[in-house]
Structure 1
Amino acid sequence: SVQLEWSVPEGTFDSFTVQYIDVQGQPQELHFDSGSRTATVSGLLPSHPYKFNLYGVWGQTRLGPISADTITAAAPAQEEPPFPPRLGELTASHVSPDSVQLEWSVPEGSFDSFTVQYKDAQGQPQVVPVDGGSRTVTVPGLSPSRRYKFNLYGVWGRKRLGPIST
């Protein structure tokens, strides 16, 4: 929005009219009573140039305009996100013939969620979603005596951080 202010050094007007062109290129006209000396024009686009024309209306006569050129303020910046969280170590524990428990640390910050990825015995990629408050997950359905590589990603907002692996 823009606030316009004006003065009337002598005499009086019956009313005032403010004209401007909106962002669609359409002329807009606002009317104010004779006692007005300010006008707030809202619904404007941020960081956009506008020209406002003010007319004084006296009887059937429109006097003026006096003009003001301005550029509206920029939209408020989005709050800077905090520093991203950091993944620590990923370790495998409680290994059984068909499952493994993975544990990890988050030394800084917090994540919205985690994703564990690995390839099964047939070489097909598998994904295990984990909620952001967890620091451990058990991966079932593994084949005995087989080597697996597990990748853990942290999800923070729209970003995927990592992986850390074991």
Structure 2
Amino acid sequence: MLPSLHKEVQPSVSTSTLLTEDFKAETSGDELEGPNQGPPSDLNATDVSRNSLMLSWSAPEGAFDSFIVELNSTSNKSKDNVIEVSGEARQVHVDGLNPGTLYELTLYGMKEGEKSQPVNVHIKTGTWT
């Protein structure tokens, strides 16, 4: 039996260190940087399907204690989510997304409790069956 279209689904997460390129992040050179380093870079969303995607980025080794990913639906079909991953991670797999939905994904590096400047990417999940 298929789940109801109105059922709320929480994204699930897995991490690895593979880097790929499909969608590039938007960042401004005018943004202020964190206390010891700039923001993560090369934010990409790949393997985008109806309900999942792979998000990857670059950052110097040891530059961050952890990363925060904010996942916001611009169509109000789902609630916003925050995902935290380790400072060694350079990729996160996000499941449980809504088909045909535009998302803004924002990535911050965390160092000693302080956020870096954000990097963003916009992506629309697929509508095919």
Q: Would you say same fold, with TM above 0.5? A: yes
Percent pairwise identity: 36
Match of 2:110 among 139, 142, 155: 155
Contact 1:87 1:108 in 2 (8 A): no
With a CA cutoff of 8 Å and minimum separation of 6, indicate the structure with the bigger relative contact order. Answer: 2
Report matched runs for 1:72-151 at 5 Å.
83-84=36-37, 86-107=39-60, 110-120=63-73, 122-151=77-106
Distance 1:95 1:88, change over 3 A: same
Q: State whether residues 103 and 136 of structure 1, in contact with CA within 8 Å, keep that contact through their aligned partners in structure 2.
A: yes
**What whole-Å deviation, never above 9, does each CA across 1:73-132 have from its counterpart, x for those lacking one?**
xxxxxxxxx832541121100111100100001157510000100124534220011110
- Paired residues of 1:85 and 1:108 also in contact (CA < 8 A): no
Aligned length: 85
Q: How well do the aligned residues superpose, as a CA RMSD in angstroms? A: 2.0
Structure 2: gaps (5+ residues): 1-34, 122-129
TM-score (norm 1): 0.46
Counterpart of 2:53, as a letter, is V
Residue 165 to residue 89, structure 1, CA distance change in 2 (3 Å): same
Q: Which has a greater percent of strand?
A: 1
Cα shift readout 1:39-81 (whole Å, capped 9, x = no counterpart): xxxxxxxxxxxxxxxxxxxxxxxxxxxxxxxxxxxxxxxxxxx
Q: Which structure has the larger Rg over C-alpha atoms?
A: 1
Q: Which runs of 4+ in 1 moved over 4 A?
A: none
Q: Report the TM-score, using the length of structure 2 for normalisation.
A: 0.59
The one-letter code sitting in structure 2 at the alignment partner of 1:115 is I
Partner SS for 1:143:
coil
